Structure 1
Amino acid sequence: MSSNEHDKAAGLSTGAVARRLGVAPTTVRTWDQRYGLGPDAHTPGKHRRWTAADIARLERMSALTMAGVPPAEAARAAREGRSSATALAADAPTRPGPARSRAGTGLRLGNARRECKGLARASLRLDAASVDDLLTAAIDDYGLVTAWQEVIMPTLQAVGRKWEASGEKYVEVEHFLSWHITGALRRGAPRIPADQAAATTLLACVPGEVHTLPLEALAAALIDQGLPVRMFGAAMPAEALVDAVRRTGPAIIGLWAQSRTTANRPLAQHVAAIEWGVRGARRHPLVLTLGPGWAGQTVPGLPRPSGLAEALAVVEAAVGDGVRRPVGR
């Protein structure tokens, strides 16, 4: 028997099932203890292992509670294999107002990692504890860059598509998820050692740009690689940006623009031309134009990395080359 077949035969642990469903492990245990949705083949004194049939029941339970069915009724429906619509109809006499199917509240994630689906379910439920647990687990399991590219971003994009297609009905889900991602990124990055406090990289959104999450991901990834960062966040005024560059003399500057309406080519060129140092050996920064807003706004001589991994690689390579370039080179 292959290891894959053995895993299927043995079943999944409670923690693995919780990640798959997008709930906290305590939720799975509660559904087991309170509503009898535990593994069919559980042996007393041994760790619980969940088979495909056990997990299918829990998935029905999760879908029904997310659709507004009270937990006790959802559990009965899950045990009996009833659908969401049937459970909603059965529950209608005890609930005020007409019963409405909410089967369309799921997010379209295609062939994304299963962690995306769990995170999406938890986000739709506005389940803060589960979202935090799932984000932390993804970063711990895959590393910050892979977690961002293969778990966090696909889920964020699915949420964005959902509210755009629903008349902004799910804006609260995007705000909720974004706030928790910010916290997870900061928790996932180590503290900058005191002897590395002189940051080599300055990151800021261009004036008028308020979308900071991708820049926060880059900041966390750089810190994770031992590369100190000064992060200035959203909508950095042009004068303040120039002052910060002159005061700190960063080796690398990342300017984020989500929209073409905020991408500011003259500002990027001006910042790239700022010089400091002693006469005859003046230096200037390497400026990276980051984000989709710079598409079609290519600034000659300034790199435009296409994503987090590429931006991280450009910074690491520049640091390895000494970064601060003499003027005129």
Structure 2
Amino acid sequence: MTTGGLARRLGVSPTTLRTWDRRYGLGPAVRADGRHRRWTPRDVAVLEAMCRLTAAGVPPAEAARAARETAAATVAPGNRVAPAAETPSPPTPSAAGDRPSENGRRSRPAASLPLGDVRQECRGLARAAVRLDAPAVDAQLTSAVQRYGLAVAWEEVMVPTLHAVGRKWASSGDRYVEVEHMLSWHISTVLRRVTPVSRTAGPDGVPGPVVLACVPGEQHTLPLEALNAGLTEHGLSTRMFGAAVPAEALTAAVRRLGPAAVVLWAQARSTASLPLARHVAATQWGVRGARGNPLVVLGGPGWAGRSAQGMLRPQGLGEALAVLTARCESGTPVG
């Protein structure tokens, strides 16, 4: 195979292949006239293993060593590349020389993104995202949710990786925009796969849904999607309206639905409107003498430092889930 063809097959850039050749000796066995690289089936097997190992969070140098040592087992008789199922599993952290601390975190920096002290899964997710390896990104995200649960996967795997991509984007001009877009898309996709658990209605029957909406002018929906997925996982009814919901539409929806709570997300202070939040909190529904109004929950850094009497501002996904679950179960405000 040519370098360009192999890069397309693996979902990496030709520059990445040349870097792995120079740093770790994962070069082609054959070089044609003019030093053009020609990759044999064994070379391909080594690099496929390298991609899988780094996507699992193994440091590149250790992944290269493990890929070389096990390459012979990944080439089938007849000089054909073996199926992916026959490739070796990632080495354990101890074998990779990257021992976890007691809390399961790592202290080594990521190869391309400024991750800091994060879970090993963040490193694998970041490497897969930078390579634009969509199948690996999806697999890493799905595995994190299955292994840790939605709240931990969001707060300790997805968010740190998103922040690292954002910092890299901000410090390198327009580079890495495509990485951020692809990663956000796959996170959103995984969040929407969450399956609700069955719940038994309380003595007062089924409570109204939780309405989730970004305030007017706000386009950042991923944190709200994570909360929606968490509520769905807890078996609670939701109505997700997404980005930049006009005030009139939000008020009309509250009157129609009679929600147990309304979550208003504001990423920036410029979009966080306390008059709107107070208006939503005062919106009523029902017959005269038995009117109800929603609990308003303010989400996002845009609300920081704002005085919001009678409204809640939970810190993080876990606290928001606890607040809203208690509200829906009791039917009365909490806090």
What TM-score comes out, normalization by structure 1 length?
Answer: 0.69
Equivalent AA in structure 1 for residue 189 of structure 2: G
Give secondary structure in 1 for the equivalent of 2:196: coil
1:38–1:54 CA contact under 8 A, matched in 2: no
Alignment correspondent of 2:256: 247
User: Cα distance, 1:200 vs. partner?
Assistant: 1.6
Alignment correspondent of 1:148: 154
Q: Deviations over 1:118-177 (max 9, x none)?
A: 000000011110000000000011100010011000000110111111123111111110
Give secondary structure in 1 for the equivalent of 2:178: helix
Match of 1:270 among 266, 279, 282: 279
2:115–2:164 CA contact under 8 A, matched in 1: yes
Q: Deviations over 1:35-75 (max 9, x none)?
A: 97243897xxx995665799769xxxxxxxxxxxxxxxxxx
Alignment correspondent of 2:119: 113
Alignment correspondent of 1:37: 68
Alignment correspondent of 1:171: 177
* Gap runs ≥5 in structure 1: 1-15, 25-30, 58-103
1:22–1:118 CA contact under 8 A, matched in 2: yes
2:197–2:235 CA contact under 8 A, matched in 1: no
1:265–1:299 CA contact under 8 A, matched in 2: yes
C-alpha change, 1:17 and 1:307, in structure 2 (3 Å) is farther
In the TM superposition, 1:152-231 aligns within 5 A as: 152-190=158-196, 200-231=209-240
User: Cα distance, 1:323 vs. partner?
Assistant: 3.5
User: Cα distance, 1:105 vs. partner?
Assistant: 6.9
Alignment correspondent of 1:281: 290
CA RMSD in angstroms comes to: 3.6
Give secondary structure in 2 for the equivalent of 1:188: coil
Alignment correspondent of 2:19: none
Q: Deviations over 1:204-225 (max 9, x none)?
A: 0000000000000000000000
Alignment correspondent of 2:54: 21
Q: Deviations over 1:176-215 (max 9, x none)?
A: 100010000011333889x999852000000000000000
Which structure: greater helix fraction?
1
2:56–2:90 CA contact under 8 A, matched in 1: no
Alignment correspondent of 2:325: 316
Provide the C-alpha distance between the structure 2 equivalents of 1:170 and 1:47, rounded to a whole number of angstroms. Answer: 30
* Gap runs ≥5 in structure 2: 1-48, 58-63, 74-85, 98-109
Match of 2:267 among 252, 255, 258: 258
Provide the C-alpha distance between the structure 2 equivalents of 1:169 and 1:132, rounded to a whole number of angstroms. Answer: 22
1:257–1:293 CA contact under 8 A, matched in 2: yes
Q: Deviations over 1:3-25 (max 9, x none)?
A: xxxxxxxxxxxxx997762169x
Provide the C-alpha distance between the structure 1 equivalents of 2:159 and 2:172, rounded to a whole number of angstroms. Answer: 20
What TM-score comes out, normalization by structure 2 length?
Answer: 0.67
Provide the C-alpha distance between the structure 1 equivalents of 2:67 and 2:265, rounded to a whole number of angstroms. Answer: 51
Give secondary structure in 1 for the equivalent of 2:175: coil
C-alpha change, 1:245 and 1:106, in structure 2 (3 Å) is same
1:288–1:305 CA contact under 8 A, matched in 2: yes
1:200–1:229 CA contact under 8 A, matched in 2: yes
C-alpha change, 1:179 and 1:50, in structure 2 (3 Å) is closer
Equivalent AA in structure 1 for residue 307 of structure 2: T
Q: Which moved more, 1:302-311 or 1:292-301?
A: 292-301
- Work out the percentage of aligned pairs sharing the same amino acid: 54
1:204–1:232 CA contact under 8 A, matched in 2: yes
The number of equivalent residue pairs is 254
